[in-house]
C-alpha cells in the first residue's frame, strides 16, 4: 500500500533512515525549490508531525536560476499572463547547468542562444547572486524554529539539500560551528530537502546526491 505524506515528513523519514532521530526530538526541513519553505517537525512515537511551517515564494533555487539567466542576456522572467521570449527557456537551462558546474569550478563557458557567442560565467558571480536567497532561507528556517517555541540548539542535530549544495557550499548562513549533511530527496520532482543544526564534531552520514 502506498501512503502519501507531506513532503517535509518524507524528508524527515529519509534523514531518520540515514542518521536516527531520537523520539521526542525536533528537526527543521527546508525546501529550496520554487521559493523556500521551512518546516519544523517533532518526532513522536507514531512518526514525524509538523509543528510549524513558513514560506517565502521569492527566495529559492528557481529564483537563483532566473537571476543567473537574466544576467547572461538581460532578459527578464516572463510575468503572469505574459509569454516568455523564446530564448528565455534556453537561457534558463543553460543557467541551471552552469550553476551546478560552478560548485566544482571557478568558471564555466555557457552556450548562449544563437546568434550570440558563448560567454564565461564566474563562480563568484553566482555566489553573490545566491547569497541573499540563502540568507533568506536561513532566516526563514530560524523563524520557523522560533514559531515552534524552540531554540536552534534544541534541534536534533543541518543537512543541506543536494540541489542547493552546488550553489552554496562556500556560503554557510548558519555560521561557525555548523556542519553540513547533504541528503537526496525522496520527492525528486518537488526537490524537498532537510536541514538539521549539526552538533559540534558530528559528522552525519551522507546519501548519494543527484537531481
Q: Are residues 139 and 44 in the same domain?
A: yes
For cell 529559492, what's the residue? 60
Q: Are residues 53 and 81 in the same domain?
A: no
> How far separated are the first and last CA of the chain, in Å rounded?
26
Q: What is the CATH number of the domain that holds 38?
A: 3.30.420.40
Q: Please give the Cα distance from 160 to 179 (Å, whole number).
A: 9
Q: Are residues 120 and 139 in the same domain?
A: no
Q: Is residue 95 assigned to a domain? A: yes
Helix (H), strand (E) at residue 127: helix 123-147
Q: Are residues 67 and 166 in the same domain?
A: no
Rounded to 10 degrees, the C-alpha dihedral 101/12/181/131 comes to: 60
Q: What is the CATH number of the domain that holds 89?
A: 3.90.640
Average pLDDT for residues 83-96, to the nearest whole number?
Answer: 86
What's the mean per-residue pLDDT of the chain?
76
Average pLDDT for residues 189-211, to the nearest whole number?
Answer: 35
User: pLDDT digit string (tens) for 129-181?
Assistant: 999 998 898 899 889 999 999 988 888 855 444 444 444 444 444 443 333 44
pTM, two decimal places: 0.70
Residue 101 is part of which domain span? 61-128
Q: Are residues 38 and 139 in the same domain?
A: yes
Average pLDDT for residues 55-83, to the nearest whole number?
Answer: 84
* pLDDT attached to residue 40: 92
Give the closest residue to 155 by CA, choosing from 134, 173, 178.
178
Sheet with 47-56, edge to edge strand ranges: 26-31, 36-44, 47-56
Q: Please give the Cα distance from 118 to 189 (Å, whole number).
A: 30
Q: Is residue 51 assigned to a domain? A: yes
Q: Are residues 101 and 135 in the same domain?
A: no
Amino acid at each position: 500500500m502506498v501512503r502519501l505524506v507531506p513532503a517535509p515528513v518524507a524528508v524527515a523519514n529519509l534523514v531518520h533512515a540515514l542518521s536516527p532521530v531520537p523520539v521526542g526530538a525536533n528537526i527543521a526541513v527546508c525546501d529550496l525549490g520554487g521559493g523556500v519553505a521551512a518546516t519544523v517537525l517533532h518526532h513522536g512515537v507514531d512518526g514525524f508531525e509538523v509543528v510549524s511551517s513558513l514560506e517565502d515564494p521569492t527566495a529559492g533555487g528557481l529564483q537563483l536560476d532566473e537571476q543567473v539567466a537574466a544576467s547572461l542576456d538581460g532578459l527578464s522572467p516572463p510575468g503572469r499572463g505574459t509569454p516568455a521570449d523564446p530564448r528565455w527557456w534556453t537561457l534558463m537551462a543553460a543557467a541551471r547547468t552552469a550553476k551546478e558546474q560552478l560548485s566544482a569550478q571557478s568558471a564555466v563557458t555557457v552556450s548562449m542562444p544563437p546568434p550570440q557567442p558563448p560567454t564565461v560565467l564566474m563562480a563568484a558571480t553566482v555566489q553573490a547572486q545566491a547569497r541573499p536567497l540563502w540568507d533568506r532561507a536561513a532566516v526563514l528556517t530560524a523563524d520557523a524554529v522560533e514559531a515552534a517555541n524552540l531554540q536552534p540548539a534544541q534541534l536534533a542535530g543541518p543537512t543541506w539539500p543536494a540541489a542547493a549544495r552546488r550553489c552554496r557550499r562556500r556560503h554557510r548562513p548558519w555560521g561557525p560551528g555548523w556542519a553540513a549533511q547533504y541528503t537526496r530527496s525522496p520527492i525528486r520532482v518537488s526537490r524537498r530537502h532537510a536541514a538539521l543544526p549539526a552538533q559540534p564534531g558530528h559528522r552525519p552520514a551522507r546519501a548519494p546526491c543527484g537531481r
